[in-house]
Amino acid sequence: MGSRGPTPKRSQERRRRNKDSKPTKGKAAPNVKPPAAKREWHPIAKAWYKSLADSGQSEFYEPSDWAMALIVAESIHRDLEPQVVGIAERTGEAVMEKVPMKGASLSAYLKAMTALMVSEGDRRRAGIELERAGASEADKTPVGVVALDEYRRELTG
C-alpha cells in the first residue's frame, strides 16, 4: 500500500517531479468482473458496493479485492439491520431493534475502504490519480495558479 502521512499533492500541483520508482510487476487476473451485490443487503451497503464497480480504481481490483469488498458490504448490511437486543420474558422470543453502529465496526470498515482505495487521498497515497473523461485543461490547473492569474489580470488591466 502507499505511504503514511499527509495526502500527497496531485501530480500537476507538485513543484518537483522526481523520477517515480518502478513498481514490481506481476500477472493480473484477466477480465475481473465484480460479483453481484446481494438483493437482501441494506440499501446503504448495496449502494456502497455498487459504487465500487463504477469507480475508476476498480480497474485495478483483483478477485481478492472483490472478495474483501463483499465481506465489508455483508458486514455493513448486518450492522445496519435490526439486531437481537434481548429476550422477551413472556414469550422467550428474541427482541429485534435497530442499534447504532459501533465505533470499532466503523473503524474497521474505514480501514478496509482505505485498502480498497475508496477515497482520493487513499488513491494518491497508492500512486493512482484518476481523471474524469472529458476534463478540460482548465479543470486540471491548480486552484492557486488560477487565483494568481486572476490577481495578475486585475493589477494590469
| Torsion (CA) 138, 139, 144, 149 in degrees, nearest 10 | 20
Cell digits of residue 150: 486572476
pTM: 0.70
Inter-helix orientation angle 43-54/63-80, to 10°: 160
pLDDT band at 143 (very low <50, low <70, confident <90, very high): low
Domain boundaries, the chain: 29-130
Contact 15, 144 (CB under 8 A): no
- In sequence order, the 6+-apart residues with CB closer than 8 A to the CB of 32 are 61, 62, 63, 66
Among 110, 130, 105, 111, smallest CA distance to 120 is for 130
Quick: pLDDT tens for 84-137. Answer: 999 999 999 999 999 999 999 999 999 999 999 999 889 888 888 888 777 666
Grid cell 449502494 in the structure block, residue: 47
Alpha helices in 20-62 (DSSP H): 43-54
Contact 116, 130 (CB under 8 A): no
